[in-house]
Amino acid sequence: MNLSSDPLLSCFVPVIDAETELLILGSLPGEASLKRGQYYGHPRNQFWRLTGDILGCNLVDLPYEARLMTLLKHHIGLWDVIATAKRQGSLDGAIREATPNPLVSLIERLPQLKLIAFNGQKAASLGQKTLQKANMAALPCSVLPSSSPAHAIAYERKKEVWLRAGAFVFDRGKQKGSI
Q: Pick one of 3.40.50.1950, 3.40.470.10, 2.40.260.10, 3.90.930.60 as the CATH number of 15-170.
A: 3.40.470.10
- Helices and strands, counts by H and E, the chain: 6, 7
Dihedral sign of CA atoms 23, 73, 172, 158 in order: negative
- Distance from C-alpha of 57 to C-alpha of 70, rounded to nearest angstrom: 10
For the chain, give the mean pLDDT.
89
Is 119 one of the annotated active-site residues of the chain? Answer: no
Of the candidates 2, 45, 101, 135, the residue annotated as catalytic is: 45
pLDDT recorded at residue 137? 66
Tell me the domain boundaries of the chain: 15-170
Greatest CA separation for the chain = 53
Range 56-60 contact pairs with CB under 8 angstroms and sequence separation of 24 or more: none
Contact 29, 39 (CB under 8 A): yes
- Distance from C-alpha of 47 to C-alpha of 174, rounded to nearest angstrom: 22
pLDDT recorded at residue 175? 43
The pLDDT tens digits of the residues spanning 57-112 come to 999 999 999 999 999 999 999 999 999 999 887 776 777 888 999 999 999 999 99
Confidence of residue 178 (pLDDT cuts 50, 70, 90): very low
pTM of the model: 0.90
Contact 96, 81 (CB under 8 A): no
- Distance from C-alpha of 4 to C-alpha of 78, rounded to nearest angstrom: 30
What do you get for the CA distance between the two ends of the chain, in Å? Answer: 43
